[in-house]
Amino acid sequence: RVQRKIPPRNHTKPTIPMAALPLLRWGASSLHAHFSPTPPRRLFSALRQPPAAGRYEPGSRVMLKGMDYPELEKWVQSQGFRPGQAMMLWKCLYGNNVWAHCHDELAGLNKDLRKMISDHADLKALTIKDIITASDGTRKILFSLEDASVIETVVIPSARGRTTVCVSSQVGCAMNCQFCFTGRMGLRKHLSTAEIVEQAVFARKLFSDEFGTITNVVFMGMGEPLHNVDNVIKASSIMVDEQGLQFSPRKVTVSTSGLVPEIKRFLNESNCDLAVSLNATTDEVRDWIMPINRRYNLSTLLGTLREELRLRPKSIVLFEYVMLAGVNDSVDDAKRLTELVRGIACKINLISFNPHSGSQFKPTPDEKIIEFRNMLIQSGLTVMVRLSRGDDQMAACGQLGAAGDYQLPLLRVPEKFQVAL
């Protein structure tokens, strides 16, 4: 029973207890509910909890694909719903072949939960601008971001039943690798977790019927993934979640140009695979074609990998090696490469250089790539040659992006390589 106080004769305005303010803000029906006979423990518990479903606090909207599952579950509970409903929402986003991009696709969720999501959350971080098909069947998807920036994602089908999506992690890139078209752009912005994850979600939604299951993810699109390490680690963990997209950690590969502190962090926090873009066997050449080497040289980079991989005995690193005619494809380069990676559990991926406008390099002839490969194999290394895919539509390795009006400068070519170029 609530007793009404009579104001004193001087008509001083009575104060309102702070605990009652949320109730007054919720409205008359809430007041009736909370001041009806209720055990004291439940009453004070209700005062501390957020509004029940259907009665929402004003606030900023959240991006659902920017949350991992523990964060999503916590958010759903904070809105007054059960943890089990968070799992149902998670599967609408990533599982059950739904891959929801709009509120109308949240079938199976109860009405109150759908209304709360509609009022307080966004499902879509990217907008398709264009889809380009290369002659070999590779697809390049151009996505627009909220600020009108454009990123590119590549879906690569294979006759062997493996389909790979190559995702971007930044708009542009700060590394200025001399053989990479994206590097000429400079860094425009980091992608959010949601913007990274949704590239894989769109790939499955758009192409699963045509190509079958998208089985592999490579972080080898626009940007240096470990320069955006927080969002990349979080996005990759969402991709491998067993209740969500269900990619195998062994089939999600994050590539880096060699940011040593971030490599250590990635190897300690993620169970996905690591690829390192090596591309040279001397510091002189790597300083030129990959300026990050001036900060973390070959000795530092490879020494870190040896040390860290000892703590992960089941892990191997993939070394990517773009073949540049007259620059890094000699017999001596093959011999040095063998020595550089000795003692590191690894595979070598030889990549033919894909030409682009403004490039000063030429691709190594195919027969010389095979000779280089055979020398490495004879030394006991596991070696693969990556064929160019989508290069007629600027969708191949090193061709993504649009340089625009501003481009990072080309670096001075060492004198002994000027003839080769």
For each of the domains in the chain, give its residue range(s) and CATH number, in order of start. 62-122 (1.10.150.530), 127-417 (3.20.20.70)
pLDDT, residue 402, reads 87
pLDDT, residue 358, reads 67
Residue 4 has pLDDT above 90, yes or no: no
Those residues with Cβ within 8 angstroms of residue 319's Cβ, 6 or more apart along the chain or in another chain: 275, 276, 278, 341, 346, 347, 348, 349
pLDDT, residue 251, reads 97
Q: Residues 73, 152, 195, 198: which is the catalytic one?
A: 152
Whether the CA torsion 182, 187, 192, 193 is positive or negative: it is positive
Quick one: average pLDDT of 287-312?
96
Residue 397 is a catalytic residue = yes
Quick one: average pLDDT of 411-416?
91
Those residues with Cβ within 8 angstroms of residue 164's Cβ, 6 or more apart along the chain or in another chain: 155, 156, 158, 214, 215, 216, 217, 218
pLDDT, residue 29, reads 36
Quick: pLDDT tens for 375-413: 999 999 999 999 899 999 999 999 999 877 778 888 999
- The pTM for the full model equals 0.84
pLDDT, residue 54, reads 34
Quick: pLDDT tens for 244-275: 899 999 999 999 999 999 999 999 999 999 99
Quick one: average pLDDT of 288-299?
98
Position with higher pLDDT, 40 vs 126: 126
pLDDT, residue 321, reads 98
What's the token pair of residue 214?
């998208």
Residue 22 has pLDDT above 60, yes or no: no
Q: In angstroms, rounded to a whole number, what is the distance separating the alpha carbons of residues 95 and 414?
A: 52
Residue 73 is a catalytic residue = no
Indicate the pairing of strand 170-173 with strand 164-166.
unpaired
pLDDT, residue 35, reads 32
* Cα angle: 273, vertex 279, 285; to 5 degrees: 145
Residue 58 has pLDDT above 90, yes or no: no
Quick: pLDDT tens for 64-118: 999 999 999 999 999 999 999 999 999 999 988 889 998 889 988 999 999 999 9
Other beta carbons within 10 Å of 371: 14
**What does pLDDT average to over the chain?**
87
Whether the CA torsion 83, 86, 88, 91 is positive or negative: it is negative
Those residues with Cβ within 8 angstroms of residue 167's Cβ, 6 or more apart along the chain or in another chain: 153, 196, 199, 200, 217, 218, 219, 221
Kindly report the backbone phi and psi dihedral angles of residue 33, in degrees, each rounded to the nearest multiple of 5, phi listed first.
Answer: -65, -40
pLDDT, residue 59, reads 57
pLDDT, residue 269, reads 96
Q: Amino acid letter at 229?
A: V
